[in-house]
């Protein structure tokens, strides 16, 4: 899969991370459960894409803090 994500995936992910910054980690499985609890996203595909994007964002944020 490529790195380009649709704008609606990014918007959902950014809203969730801004609203609940302490809940998300670099772990996709953890993020997947949290996204399911916090949203009413109807499909697994979109939920997983949001959770994956959040995991990627958390990895990038960790890398920036270590530099």
- Whether 3 is in a domain gets the answer no
- Whether 42 is in a domain gets the answer yes
- Whether 62 is in a domain gets the answer yes
Domain encompassing residue 41: 21-66
DSSP letter string, 2-57: -S---HHHHHHHHHHHHH-TTT--S-HHHHHHHHHHH-----HHHHHHHHHHHHHH
- Whether 29 is in a domain gets the answer yes
Cβ atoms 53, 31 nearer than 8 A: no
What total of structural domains would you count in the chain? Answer: 1
- Whether 33 is in a domain gets the answer yes
- pLDDT tens-digit readout, 17-62: 999 999 999 999 999 999 999 999 989 999 999 999 999 999 988 7
This prediction's pTM: 0.87
- Whether 40 is in a domain gets the answer yes
């Amino acid at each position: 899969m490529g790195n380009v994500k649709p704008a609606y995936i990014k918007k959902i992910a950014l809203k969730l991370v801004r609203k609940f910054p302490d809940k998300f980690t670099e772990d996709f499985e953890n993020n997947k459960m949290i996204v399911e609890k916090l949203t009413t996203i109807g499909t697994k595909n979109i939920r997983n894409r949001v959770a994956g994007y959040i995991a990627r964002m958390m990895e990038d944020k960790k890398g920036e803090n270590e530099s």
